[in-house]
Amino acid sequence: MGFNTLNLPPAILKGVRAAGYSEPTPIQRKAIPIVLDGKDLIGAAQTGTGKTAAFILPILARLLQGTKRLRALVLTPTRELAAQVETNARDYARFTDINVGVVYGGVPLPPQERMLRGGVDLLVATPGRLLDLHGRLALRLDYVEVLVLDEADRMVDMGFAPDLRRILRLLPHDRQTLLFSATMPPDLNQVAREALREPARVDLAPPSRPAAGITQAVYPVPRNLKTELLDEILSAIDVRSMIVFTRTKHGADRVARQLGKRNYAVAPIHGNRSQSQRERALGDLKRGRIQILVATDIASRGIDVEGISHVVNYDVPHTPEDYVHRIGRTGRVDAVGDAFTLMSPEEQKDFTAIERFLGRAVPRVMLPDFDYHMRPREIADSIRGDGGGSGGRGGKKPAGRSHGGGGPRASSGRGGHAGAHKGPRQRGSGGQGHSREQKPGASGSEAPQFGRKPKVIRGFDRRRGRP
Ligand code: AMP
* pLDDT range class, residue 457, cuts 50, 70, 90: very low
What total of structural domains would you count in the chain? 2
Domain boundary among 203, 238, 255: 203
The mean per-residue pLDDT over the stretch 262-277 comes to 85
Domain match, 197 and 220 both:
no
Residue 94 pLDDT exceeds 90: yes
**For ligand 1, what atom is nearest to the CA of residue 46?**
2
Domain boundary among 203, 235, 262: 203
DSSP three-state, residue 242: strand
pLDDT at 274: 78
Determine which residue's CA is closest to atom 19 belonging to ligand 1: 24
Residue at 190 is within a domain: yes
- Average pLDDT of the chain is 77
Which segment of 80-89, 94-103, 326-335, 389-398 scores lowest on mean pLDDT?
A: 389-398
Q: Is the dihedral of CA 321, 322, 324, 328 positive or negative?
A: positive
* pLDDT range class, residue 128, cuts 50, 70, 90: very high
Residue at 167 is within a domain: yes
Domain match, 120 and 268 both:
no
Q: What is the whole-number distance in angstroms between the Cα of residue 378 and the centre of ligand 1?
A: 43
Residue at 209 is within a domain: no
Q: Which domain holds residue 320?
A: 214-457
Q: Is 48 in the pocket of ligand 1 (CB under 6 A)?
A: yes
Residue at 222 is within a domain: yes
Q: What is the whole-number distance in angstroms between the Cα of residue 283 and the centre of ligand 1?
A: 18
What are residue 297's phi and psi, to 5 degrees? -60, -45
Of 242 and 404, the structure prediction assigns the larger pLDDT to 242
% of residues, the chain, pLDDT over 90: 43
Domain match, 134 and 254 both:
no
Domain boundary among 139, 168, 203: 203
Residue 109 pLDDT exceeds 70: yes
Q: Is 53 in the pocket of ligand 1 (CB under 6 A)?
A: yes
Buried b (16+ CB within 10 A) or exposed e, 381-396: ebbebebbbbbeeebe
Q: What is the whole-number distance in angstroms between the Cα of residue 304 and the centre of ligand 1?
A: 9
Of 210 and 6, the structure prediction assigns the larger pLDDT to 6
Domain match, 157 and 278 both:
no
pLDDT at 202: 86
* pLDDT range class, residue 276, cuts 50, 70, 90: confident
Q: Is 328 in the pocket of ligand 1 (CB under 6 A)?
A: no
Domain match, 91 and 219 both:
no
DSSP three-state, residue 407: coil
Q: Is 25 in the pocket of ligand 1 (CB under 6 A)?
A: yes
Residue 355's alpha-carbon distances to 7, 45, 242, 271, in angstroms, are 41, 20, 23, 29
Q: What is the whole-number distance in angstroms between the Cα of residue 447 and the centre of ligand 1?
A: 28
Domain match, 386 and 426 both:
yes
pLDDT at 404: 29
Determine which residue's CA is closest to atom 15 belonging to ligand 1: 50
Q: Which of 134-143, 177-186, 301-310, 374-383 has the highest mean pLDDT?
A: 134-143
pLDDT at 342: 95
Domain match, 143 and 186 both:
yes
Domain match, 101 and 199 both:
yes
Residue at 63 is within a domain: yes
Residue 303 pLDDT exceeds 70: no
Determine which residue's CA is closest to atom 13 belonging to ligand 1: 50
- Indicate the pairing of strand 435-437 with strand 364-366: antiparallel
Residue at 109 is within a domain: yes
* pLDDT range class, residue 432, cuts 50, 70, 90: very low
Residue at 463 is within a domain: no
Domain match, 387 and 443 both:
yes
Q: Is 104 in the pocket of ligand 1 (CB under 6 A)?
A: no
Q: What is the whole-number distance in angstroms between the Cα of residue 50 and the centre of ligand 1?
A: 4
The mean per-residue pLDDT over the stretch 66-81 comes to 95
The mean per-residue pLDDT over the stretch 96-105 comes to 97
**For ligand 1, what atom is nearest to the CA of residue 47?**
2
Q: Is 84 in the pocket of ligand 1 (CB under 6 A)?
A: no
- For a ligand 1 pocket test, name from 17, 21, 325 the mutation site with the most ligand atoms within 8 angstroms of its C-beta: 21
Domain match, 270 and 240 both:
yes
Q: What is the pLDDT of residues 149-161, one digit of tens each?
A: 999 988 998 899 9
Q: What is the pLDDT of residues 313-369, one digit of tens each?
A: 999 988 887 888 777 766 544 445 688 899 998 899 999 988 888 877 888 888 877
**For ligand 1, what atom is nearest to the CA of residue 24?**
19
The mean per-residue pLDDT over the stretch 161-179 comes to 96
Residue 12 pLDDT exceeds 90: yes
**For ligand 1, what atom is nearest to the CA of residue 21?**
20
Q: What is the pLDDT of residues 192-227, one digit of tens each?
A: 988 999 899 887 654 445 554 567 888 989 999 999
CATH of the domain at 391: 3.40.50.300
Residue at 465 is within a domain: no
Of 136 and 238, the structure prediction assigns the larger pLDDT to 136
pLDDT at 155: 92
pLDDT at 301: 61
Domain match, 244 and 327 both:
yes
The angle formed by the CA atoms of residues 204, 191 and 73, to the nearest 5 degrees, is 75
Of 392 and 35, the structure prediction assigns the larger pLDDT to 35
Q: What is the whole-number distance in angstroms between the Cα of residue 25 and the centre of ligand 1?
A: 8
State the CB neighbour count (10 A cutoff) for residue 288.
11
Q: Which of 14-28, 303-317, 392-406 has the highest mean pLDDT?
A: 14-28
pLDDT at 394: 31
Domain match, 189 and 233 both:
no
The angle formed by the CA atoms of residues 233, 415 and 379, to the nearest 5 degrees, is 40
**For ligand 1, what atom is nearest to the CA of residue 19?**
12
